[in-house]
Amino acid sequence: SNILAMPVLSGVLSDLHRVLLSAESIRSRVTEMARTIERDYAGKEITVVVLMDGALFFVADLLRQIDLPMRIVTLGASSYHGGTESTGQVKINWPAGVEFCGQDILLLDDILDTGLTLKALRDRLQGESPATLKTAVLLDKKRPRQHVVPLNYCGFEIEDEFVVGYGMDYQGRFRNLPCIGILKP
């Protein structure tokens, strides 16, 4: 049986106003991203830096399809504090004892919104003198970017709406939705 096959979860899905990306479309796009990343990093070891918690399922599905040696490091960083508005500040929980110098770093996050979080993380990682530093997100919101973040890999471009599901939350909830959607008002 397919480990990525998902039950429908009609209970939690009833909180959605509409589905933006189905579980199936996410799955096939994530597989394509895995193939591209695998090809680009062939012969190398990747140091994957994952921004938790929103990227939880994205990285689980993506990284299990990449046949390359890798180290996975998870970080907590947030510019959101429970609601739908950014506070304009990033708090990074930097991991102790991880060597980033000379490594090929791939930074992964769920969604690029204002760019504040990834910009802060990229600047911090660049300061560690990696060999290369690339960024991948599942979703890129079409909106004026306040902070410039070079994106190397992107799953989908979406409109400027607040989304939940597939790891992304509203006040800690809805992360377990297998698809990505817009909440009922």
Task: Give the interface segment with ligand 5GP, choosing from 22-30, 35-43, 98-106, 156-164 (CB under 6 A).
Answer: 156-164
Partners of 113 in beta bridges: none
Q: Shortest approach of Mg ion to residue 127 CB, angstroms?
A: 21
Q: Which is nearer to Mg ion, 110 or 140 (CB)?
A: 110
Q: Shortest approach of ligand 5GP to residue 60 CB, angstroms?
A: 16
| Dihedral over Cα of 49, 85, 163, 167: its sign | positive
Separation of alpha carbons 43 and 50, rounded Å: 21
Rule CB under 5 A: is residue 140 a binding residue for Mg ion? Answer: no
Which letter does DSSP use for residue 172 in this model? T
- Do 73 and 107 contact (CB within 8 A), yes or no? no
Task: Give the interface segment with ligand 5GP, choosing from 9-17, 35-43, 63-71, 162-170 (CB under 6 A).
Answer: 162-170
Q: Which amino acid is at 151?
A: L
- The one of ligand 5GP, Mg ion, none whose footprint includes residue 155, by CB under 5 to 8 A per kind, is none
Footprint of ligand 5GP on residues 53-72 (CB under 6 A)?
54
CB environment 115-124: b (16+ within 10 A), e (fewer):
bbbbbbbbeb
Rule CB under 6 A: is residue 135 a binding residue for ligand 5GP? Answer: no
Rule CB under 5 A: is residue 110 a binding residue for Mg ion? Answer: yes
Q: Which amino acid is at 5?
A: A
Rule CB under 6 A: is residue 115 a binding residue for ligand 5GP? Answer: yes
- The one of ligand 5GP, Mg ion, none whose footprint includes residue 181, by CB under 5 to 8 A per kind, is none
Rule CB under 5 A: is residue 169 a binding residue for Mg ion? Answer: yes
| Of 61, 113, 140, 169, catalytic | 113
**Would residue 113 show up in a list of annotated catalytic residues for this protein?**
yes
Residue 72, helix vs strand vs coil: strand
Give residues in contact with ligand 5GP (CB under 6 A). Answer: 54, 79-80, 86, 109-117, 162-164, 168-170
Give catalytic residue positions: 113
